[in-house]
Amino acid sequence: MSVLIKNGRIITADADYIADIFIENESIVAIGKNLSNTADTIIDAAGKLVIPGGIDPHVHLDMPFMGTYSSDNYETGTRAALYGGTTMVIDFILQKQGSSLQSAFDEWSGRANGNAVGDYSFHMAVTDFNENTKKEIKTMIEKEGITSFKTFMAYKGALMIDDRQMIGLMEEVKKHGGLINVHATNGDMIDYLVQKHREEGKLSPLYHYLSQPEITEAEASERFLDMASYTECPGYIVHLTCEGALHAVRNATKRNQHIFVETCIQYLLLDASLYEKDFEGAKWVMSPPLREKKDQATLWAGINQGLVQIVATDHCPFMWEQKLMGKDDFSKIPNGHPAVENRMELLFSEGVMKNKITLNKYVEITSTNVAKIFGMFPKKGTIAIGSDADIVIIDPNEQHTLSAKTHHMNVDYSGYEGWEITGKVKTVLLRGKVAIDNNQCLIKKGYGQFVKRNKVSQNI
């Protein structure tokens, strides 16, 4: 099977040129002007942008959480991702407290294998670090190719680990060449504020926001950075939202600490005024919550300063009926919002087209840096000879409107309903197969493969 993409404007993290790409089976085999290879399929990309497939390193598919399950499974979630130009996702396995990492890995693999349409990998969330878990870290990294370990400093009583466990885990992960991801907010302080607001009868979604003030994130980020510095363990802060937390990162760099930071598309584009819409604010109940306009400015600046290396989604969708579980009490609203299908187009429209980031930066923060940080580069994350042919073709001028009526995520509302955006994903190739074309998905569930990852490199 071969594909020839003609005359596209190829954008990578560090190049921008017009050429043809020749693909055989799953990989790119030639790039050049006027390639004359005979191909089974020829795609005319003149006037279009040709970029590496987006990789979203932060999604929650089919995840048991807050008394329910996130509403996209591996089939619907990875297919929706492909429609939006994301060819690979990294999902989170949650260890059950009292059980092994291996049993959690087997459970998650069982849900994903044979169902995924797009490629995927897992981070392992360690919720119970003990002598048994400690022995499994090496196996996860060396046998299963899971090199990143998620920790929660919040969700007290469910997922949170204490600092003692954090330090022990960091030492073990460092020893075997892995990375610690962290949800960095102060779980005890949030727990206190949630109870206080409930006792005062303050039960609307607005109090979700007011129970997680910026200081809860700034404090935990700084504490995490101190522990990572002490143990010399590579660290990655997920869904960083605010000025206070980014200042903690900036300070850490002053002692030459190398730290990776992810923000999410919603924190760049939406703000906390949405929580003033009574219960409709539940659509954006997520943790950490949306912040203020000054935080958006900080995050855009952080991207261009190289302090924030990745824009993900934290895609964790729930149907409106599931959100209604918290109709009378914000603390029961399942946390999370849908965006895996929207990230690439939103960031293109609001970031590139509005001159907040360059095209090269766009590719870097949606694909290349993800592949580099999480041990998949150059197989994934670039357009180069030998790389997987994961390729997205974008019409930079086409305008369209986001809506739950037309999206493919399994969720009955959109956090971006009615947003008019510029730039549309037209064609997507996954490992050499045309996966999306003309608003149709041409591949079936089961095509998506688990990607084993390499040990982590600090050199990006």
Could you give the string, one character per residue 246-285, with x where binding to ligand URP holds by CB under 6 A and - elsewhere? ----------------------------------------
Minimum CB distance to ligand URP, residue 280 (Å): 17
**Of residues 374 and 377, the one with the C-beta less far from ligand URP:** 374
Is 314 an interacting residue with respect to ligand URP (CB under 6 A)? yes
- Site for ligand URP (CB under 6 A): which residue of 71, 216, 287, 298? 287
Is 290 an interacting residue with respect to ligand URP (CB under 6 A)? no
Is 361 an interacting residue with respect to ligand URP (CB under 6 A)? no
- Read off the amino acid at residue 212: Q
**Of residues 81 and 393, the one with the C-beta less far from ligand URP:** 81
Is 235 an interacting residue with respect to ligand URP (CB under 6 A)? no
Contact 152, 159 (CB under 8 A): yes
CA 73 to each of CA 81, 116, 153: distance values in angstroms, whole numbers, following the listed order: 12, 8, 26
- Site for ligand URP (CB under 6 A): which residue of 316, 428, 443, 456? 316
- Read off the amino acid at residue 127: T
What is the rounded distance in angstroms from the CA atom of residue 451 to the CA atom of residue 429?
17
Place of tokens 């993290």: 13
Half-sphere exposure for 18 (CA within 13 Å, toward CB): 9
Is 183 an interacting residue with respect to Zn ion (CB under 5 A)? yes
Contacts of residue 306, Cβ cutoff 8 Å, sequence gap at least 6:
none
Contact 140, 157 (CB under 8 A): no
Partners of 249 in the β-ladder: none
How many residues line the site for ligand URP (CB under 6 A)?
8
286 binds, among Zn ion, ligand URP, none (CB under 5 to 8 A by kind): ligand URP
* Phi, psi (rounded to 5 degrees) for 439: 60, 25
Minimum CB distance to ligand URP, residue 335 (Å): 3
Is 183 an interacting residue with respect to ligand URP (CB under 6 A)? yes
Is 286 an interacting residue with respect to ligand URP (CB under 6 A)? yes
- Site for ligand URP (CB under 6 A): which residue of 12, 231, 298, 335? 335
H or E element, residue 3: strand 2-11
Is 60 an interacting residue with respect to ligand URP (CB under 6 A)? yes
CA 23 to each of CA 37, 235, 334: distance values in angstroms, whole numbers, following the listed order: 10, 36, 43
Minimum CB distance to ligand URP, residue 32 (Å): 43
Could you give the string, one character per residue 302-341, with x where binding to Zn ion holds by CB under 5 A and - elsewhere? ------------x---------------------------
What is the rounded distance in angstroms from the CA atom of residue 21 to the CA atom of residue 375?
25
Q: Helix or strand or coil: residue 361?
A: helix
Output Rg (C-alpha) for the chain, integer angstroms.
Answer: 21
Binding site for ligand URP (CB under 6 A): 60, 183, 286-287, 314, 316, 335-336
Binding site for Zn ion (CB under 5 A): 183, 314
